Amino acid sequence: MWYKTKVTDMLGIDYPVLQGPFGGGLSSVELVSTVSNAGGLGGYGAYTLSPQEIVDIDAKIRAATDKPYNLNLWVSDHDTHNGTVTDEAYEQTAKLFKPYFDEAGIPLPGKPASFKSRFEDQLQVVFDIRPRVFSFMFGVLPPDVLEKLKGLGIKTVGAATTLDEAIALDNSGVDMIIASGFEAGGHRPSFLAPAEQSLTGTFVLLQLIKEKVKVPVVAAGGIANGRGIAGALTLGADAVQVGTAFLATDESGALPVHREMLFSDAAKYTSLTRAYTGRLGRGLTSRVMKELLGKEKQFLPFPLQTSFISSLRKAAIDKQKWDLILFWGGQISPILKHKKAAVLMQSLIEETNLIMGS
Ligand SMILES: Cc1cc2nc3c(=O)[nH]c(=O)nc-3n(C[C@H](O)[C@H](O)[C@H](O)COP(=O)(O)O)c2cc1C
């Protein structure tokens, strides 16, 4: 039975299929509960939420499912010095982006407000609400935090983009590790070396990590059907994490146009860029993304670049100027088929059954 693995045993779920959590408002209660109710593990990306918002979301998820689910945060949530940047750095970014604000017909925003890390406060909420699973990216948790989570019976899951990161997570004592290949949509969660130097494909990374770490490994990046699941399990994965295919379903928090884009010809081309948030991430290749390639030094650090660009993004969406926007998405997008999360879950299971036997 392919679907009985160390991960299903540890988490108390029926199938080793995790729905990738999405930060930045793209997760939804409906998506999480649909996946968990179908026997997988729904995941909610909460790194942009306030502690109270996390409490409220958690209550809604618990009202929609009594199955385990995963709450996700970012250990490192900014790359600024003291939360801000110099006026010179802001002027440089403003100059680079001015033509795009002009094109969208809106004024340049001022220097973004100073950012204050939220992680410590968010973590307190995790201790209080005790999700069955807590996953995190962009770092390793301090030993006392990990101990406390374990003491509360919360399973911990860290994300690695390199073998070194996986070993660091393993040594820290996490319960399982996500092997996050560069095919994946969204941010690259690298934390030991720059993300640009940590680009390994899912199926290589999975095998490297499987060979060297003790805990179960979850393959993430480029998996969207039964073939992908069967391939990952055959290469040693104890579960898979599927992101882009769930992002494209009606239940996700993505805008309708974003979901349409994932099913369109535009999805054939994806790139890694720092242009939209300040950290490296994969999205559908747009004109502005191509034009900004190689100009990373002129972007603001994460997350100030996100705030700087937010009015441009909104205006471009309002005016349907799609070539000015980045829509997150992974390399597997062109083969996506399903628009309903429950149907996608069912199809992932049935397709894998056909290949691996039920
Ligand atoms: C839009 C988007 C946002 C994401 N946000 C997060 C996040 O906040 N935390 C996290 O651990 N992973 C995040 N991910 C990664 C996914 O959870 C998952 O690992 C990844 O999408 C799997 O690769 P795939 O897109 O090829 O299926 C995000 C992915 C996408 C596409």
Confidence at residue 206, expressed as pLDDT on a 0 to 100 scale? 98
CA distance 351 to 280: 33
**Domain range list for the chain:** 1-80+116-252+336-358, 82-114+255-327
Confidence at residue 182, expressed as pLDDT on a 0 to 100 scale? 98
Q: Which atom of ligand 1 is the closest one to the Cα of 137?
A: 11
Tokens read off for 339: 């628009």
Q: What is the mean pLDDT of residues 4-31?
A: 98
Nearest CA-CA partner of 198 in 182, 177, 212: 182
Residue 98 CB neighbour total at 10 angstroms: 12
Q: What is the mean pLDDT of residues 64-70?
A: 98
Say how many Å lie between the first and final Cα of the chain, rounded: 6
Task: Using pLDDT thresholds of 50, 70 and 90, give the confidence band for residue 1.
Answer: very high
Task: Using pLDDT thresholds of 50, 70 and 90, give the confidence band for residue 107.
Answer: very high
Q: HSE (CB half, 13 Å, CA atoms) of 177?
A: 36
Tokens read off for 315: 């205006």
Confidence at residue 124, expressed as pLDDT on a 0 to 100 scale? 98
Task: Using pLDDT thresholds of 50, 70 and 90, give the confidence band for residue 230.
Answer: very high
221 lines ligand 1 (CB under 6 A): yes
139 lines ligand 1 (CB under 6 A): no
Mean pLDDT of the chain: 97
Helix (H, G, I), strand (E, B) or coil at 84: strand
Of 27, 54, 156, 187, best ligand 1 pocket probe by most atoms within 8 Å of the beta carbon: 187
For ligand 1, the distance from its centroid to the CA atom of residue 86, given in whole angstroms, is 31
Of 35, 199, 244, best ligand 1 pocket probe by most atoms within 8 Å of the beta carbon: 244
Residue minimizing CA distance to atom 17 of ligand 1: 20
Q: What angle do CA 255, 256, 259 make, to 5 degrees?
A: 90
In CATH, the architecture of 1-80+116-252+336-358 is Alpha-Beta Barrel (3.20)
Helix (H, G, I), strand (E, B) or coil at 347: helix
- 270-273: strand order across its sheet: 186-187, 281-284, 270-273
CA-to-CA dists, residue 63 to 29, 184, 246, angstroms: 10, 31, 21
Residue 210 CB neighbour total at 10 angstroms: 18
Q: Which residues on adjacent β-strands are paired with residue 45?
A: 72
Task: Using pLDDT thresholds of 50, 70 and 90, give the confidence band for residue 220.
Answer: very high
Task: Using pLDDT thresholds of 50, 70 and 90, give the confidence band for residue 21.
Answer: very high
Confidence at residue 31, expressed as pLDDT on a 0 to 100 scale? 99
DSSP state of 328: B
Confidence at residue 66, expressed as pLDDT on a 0 to 100 scale? 98
CA-to-CA dists, residue 358 to 1, 3, 230, 231, angstroms: 6, 8, 12, 16
Of 22, 135, 280, best ligand 1 pocket probe by most atoms within 8 Å of the beta carbon: 22
Residue entry with tokens 């034009």: 291
Cis ω on the peptide bond leading into residue 303 (within 30° of 0)? yes
* Helix ranges restricted to H, the chain: 6-11, 29-37, 51-64, 87-104, 119-129, 143-151, 163-172, 202-212, 226-234, 244-247, 256-262, 287-291, 304-318, 341-356
Exposure string over 220-248, b if 16+ CB within 10 A, otherwise e: bbbbbbbebbbbbbebbbbbbbbbbbbbb
State pLDDT tens for residues 310-346.
Answer: 999 999 999 999 999 999 999 999 999 999 999 999 9
Confidence at residue 250, expressed as pLDDT on a 0 to 100 scale? 98
Q: Which atom of ligand 1 is the closest one to the Cα of 220?
A: 22
Confidence at residue 61, expressed as pLDDT on a 0 to 100 scale? 98
At 164, give phi and psi (nearest 5°).
-55, -45
